[in-house]
Structure 1
């Protein structure tokens, strides 16, 4: 048992000896800062609810690598955004521009909310309308009294019997 523990400890120390620090993503911290600021405004196309800067998907890594290359080529932030939009569409941006093609993205949630409120109000009105109170005729009251008396007599018969 001691030998197994000794072997396990020596293997773990061997792994620590060969462990390296993570290589920096970019040689230039300014480039890396621009990459982060640009990629935080873009949506990961795989994750969709995560920014390109925060995603760890393979596609996000490739897109960050592409953005880094464009920065090194001297492209401006707007040129890089335009390149990404041309390649992947307006969906890649967290705040797509308002234009006829993206109206559904901007107005859609409000339309869905309005439809939901209208359906809820319609349901509540129908539920609250309910049946109208109708006065019973004398004949109806007599029938009800007869049924109740018959029910009382049958109960007393069961109790006495």
Structure 2
């Protein structure tokens, strides 16, 4: 009971409408947040370190904050993290030989998919054209086979009969 009463008294001690600042230097926190959105969480891999609650992401945010507090520029902090973790830590890695597949991969997949689709459509047109070249007798035979009116073995020439 005493604990509940004491904590309730602390809540009501603050003036309504006033908020105590969470951080001492809001400009620094804005820079940390901006950089945190540009850096990938190495654990989650699909979240920035600003969005992730993984212990490594928290450590990286603290490291960014400490380096910015010590007077390093944003570029210096990014260079340090890239040197330590590689280009993968950046959401937008630079275009170079080691990241060429990362940048060109989606385009290569798109071109490959379009090529496969064009080839498939061409084959389908060729098959349709071949079906149009059937004689009337062949079409009648196919209809009869599909309808089940004619036994299949009766229309197939045997190995001994010469084909015409």
TM-score, normalised by the number of residues in structure 2: 0.68
Number of aligned positions between the proteins: 134
Q: 1:91 aligns with which of 68, 88, 91?
A: 88
Shift of 1:141: 8.8
SS in 1 for 2:38: coil
Aligned to 1:70: 67
Shift of 1:14: 2.6
> Which residue is 2:101 aligned to?
104
Instruction: Kindly provide the CA deviation profile for residues 87-121 of structure 1, in whole angstroms up to 9, marking residues without a partner as x.
Output: 11111111111111111111111111111111122
Match of 1:129 in 2: 126
Structure 2 residue aligned with 1:43: 40
Q: 1:16 to 1:56 in 2, by over 3 A?
A: farther
TM-superposed deviation, 1:37: 0.9
Q: Distance in 2 between matches of 1:87 and 1:125?
A: 51
Which stretches in structure 2 are left out of the alignment for 5+ residues? 12-18, 150-164
| Distance in 2 separating the partners of 1:62 and 1:115 | 41
- Aligned in 2, Cα 1:72/1:52: closer, same or farther, shift over 3 Å? same
Verify: 1:14 aligned to 2:4, yes or no.
yes
Q: TM-score by structure 1 length?
A: 0.69
CA distance in 1, matches of 2:76, 2:84: 12
Computed over aligned residues only, the root mean square deviation of the Cα atoms, in angstroms, reads: 3.3
Shift of 1:66: 0.7
Alignment partners' CA distance in 2, 1:109 and 1:78: 28
Q: d(CA) in 2 for partners of 1:55 and 1:142? A: 68
Unaligned runs of at least 5 residues, structure 1: 1-9, 152-161
Deviation, structure 1 residue 136: 4.0
